[in-house]
Amino acid sequence: MSTIIIVGGGIGGLSTAIAMRQQGCEVSVFEQTSELREIGAGLSVWPNATRVLSQFGLLPEVLNRSEVIERLQLRTWKGELLSDIKTVADFETPSVCIHRSDLLSILAEQIPQRCINLGERLESFTESDGVVVASFSSGRKVEGQALIGADGLNSTVRAHILGPSKPIYRGYWACRGIADFTLEKQEAHTATETWGSGQRFGLEPMGRGRVFWYATANAPEGQLGDQLGWKDELREKFKHWHKPIPEVIEATERDAILKHDILDRQPVRCWGKGRVTLLGDAAHPTTPNLGQGACMAIEDALVLSQCLMQKGEIPSRLRKYESLRFKRTGYITRESRRAGRIGQMENALAVTLRSLWLKTLPSFLVDKIHRSYYAFEV
């Protein structure tokens, strides 16, 4: 049986390679960069995805290199508690905050080197007589029984299937960073998100004396400014916010700060054609408000591998995977966008009402919403 071609060596592509190999499939991953790498930021991995990582046999190593998150607190910029949710209740596997590179290495360690082809940028593909032929910018041509586009937000595979289109800007940017910083004892195992007017700040302990943080602010698209000025901008925007936000910004190296516009796409039903399909951000990029983008890619990987093991022609197995994933990923994309709209409210009255609403929201309702994100069984 010829190989399954996976385009993209990010969290989605590598999770897919692991899931397929565990089902006995031959896979080849093609990554455009010359080494497997992730950006210098933390990643929240929620119970829905740690359950899949546990099925891959990787949970002990993930726990070794991360911090378990037991609570999720929402606060006002003055520090007043708005809500306090237990993220461990009733879930088989925990939520964790892990360095992105650590997760990528854990995944990569499971895949033999011969299956990973670096410096190979997919340019196009054709399908005929039951095979897909992928063409790379190096001139290489590879034949496979299926092709999985796990090539991220600006996916080449997606553009070939659906035509070129731009992701949608959602009205705010996000900065991220990691600081060597020890949180107070009561903040251990706790992720905090603090809401102001058109701005938010998140803090998550990442283990080994490190804190992962993120900040958002409403702004016109594409106005990220110069990296040298980002720390000063954050200092200014968050100088009056509760402890330890200003201290964490101060403890972050200037060049360790990342800044991106926040984008997603409208959910679409069609992710594939013939022997080709999409996975992860290539299929359903989502805003980061629920911290679920990579988690969705990990869920996709398991479902896709299970569908490919079913009987029938490969195209119908791929369409089955797409139909199984459309509802779930569309729900998360829409919920995440909604959470962003609420979190980024700017009007003073709306912000006051939002705080009142959060403080009076019955806990069973909050619990129900969170279960719909985390209790999903692949």
Ligand X SMILES: Cc1cc2nc3c(=O)[nH]c(=O)nc-3n(C[C@H](O)[C@H](O)[C@H](O)COP(=O)(O)OP(=O)(O)OC[C@H]3O[C@@H](n4cnc5c(N)ncnc54)[C@H](O)[C@@H]3O)c2cc1C
**Options 7-15, 78-86, 183-191, 322-330: segment touching ligand X (CB under 6 A):** 7-15
205 sits near ligand X (criterion: CB under 6 A):
no
**Options 24-32, 328-336, 337-345, 368-376: segment touching ligand X (CB under 6 A):** 24-32
What DSSP character marks residue 264?
E
**Between 181 and 214, CB nearer to ligand X:** 214
200 sits near ligand X (criterion: CB under 6 A):
no
Among all chains, which residue has been given the structure tokens 């659906």? 162
Quick one: which of 103, 116, 174, 276 contacts ligand X (CB under 6 A)? 174
The residue type at 366: V
Report the alpha-carbon distance of residue 344 to residue 338 in Å, rounded.
Answer: 10
**Options 181-189, 291-299, 341-349, 369-377: segment touching ligand X (CB under 6 A):** 291-299
Among all chains, which residue has been given the structure tokens 């302990």? 205
CB of 352 to ligand X, least distance (A): 27
Residues 6+ apart with CB under 8 A from 218: 171, 172, 198, 199, 344, 346
31 sits near ligand X (criterion: CB under 6 A):
yes
Q: Are 188 and 180 in contact (CB under 8 A)?
A: no
Site for ligand X in 254-273 (CB under 6 A): 260
Q: Using CB under 6 A as the criterion, what x/- string covers residues 320-359 for binding ligand X?
A: ----------------------------------------
Q: Using CB under 6 A as the criterion, what x/- string covers residues 53-92 for binding ligand X?
A: ----------------------------------------
Quick one: which of 4, 12, 47, 205 contacts ligand X (CB under 6 A)? 12
Among all chains, which residue has been given the structure tokens 């209790």? 375
Quick one: which of 30, 172, 230, 238 contacts ligand X (CB under 6 A)? 30
Quick one: which of 6, 20, 27, 43 contacts ligand X (CB under 6 A)? 43
* First-to-final CA distance of the chain: 27
**Options 76-84, 281-289, 314-322, 327-335: segment touching ligand X (CB under 6 A):** 281-289
Site for ligand X in 105-144 (CB under 6 A): 121-122
202 sits near ligand X (criterion: CB under 6 A):
no
Residue burial 251-290, b: 16+ Cβ < 10 Å; e: rest: bbeeeebbbebbbbbebeeebbebbbbbbbbbbbbbbbbb
**Between 38 and 355, CB nearer to ligand X:** 38
CB of 64 to ligand X, least distance (A): 19
In degrees and rounded to multiples of 5, residue 244 shows phi and psi of -100, 30
CB of 258 to ligand X, least distance (A): 8
Residues 6+ apart with CB under 8 A from 61: 106
Quick one: which of 292, 329, 336, 344 contacts ligand X (CB under 6 A)? 292
Residues 6+ apart with CB under 8 A from 365: none
Task: Give the pairing type, strands 95-99 and 66-69.
Answer: antiparallel
Which residue pairs from 128-131 have beta carbons closer than 8 angstroms and sit at least 24 positions apart in sequence? 130/275, 131/2, 131/275
**Options 19-27, 286-294, 304-312, 361-369: segment touching ligand X (CB under 6 A):** 286-294
CB count in 10 Å sphere of residue 225:
12
CB of 87 to ligand X, least distance (A): 13
Of 272, 332, 284, give the one whose Cα is nearest residue 308: 272
Q: Which residues bind ligand X (CB under 6 A)?
A: 7-13, 30-33, 43-44, 121-122, 150-153, 156, 174, 176, 260, 280-282, 288, 291-295, 297
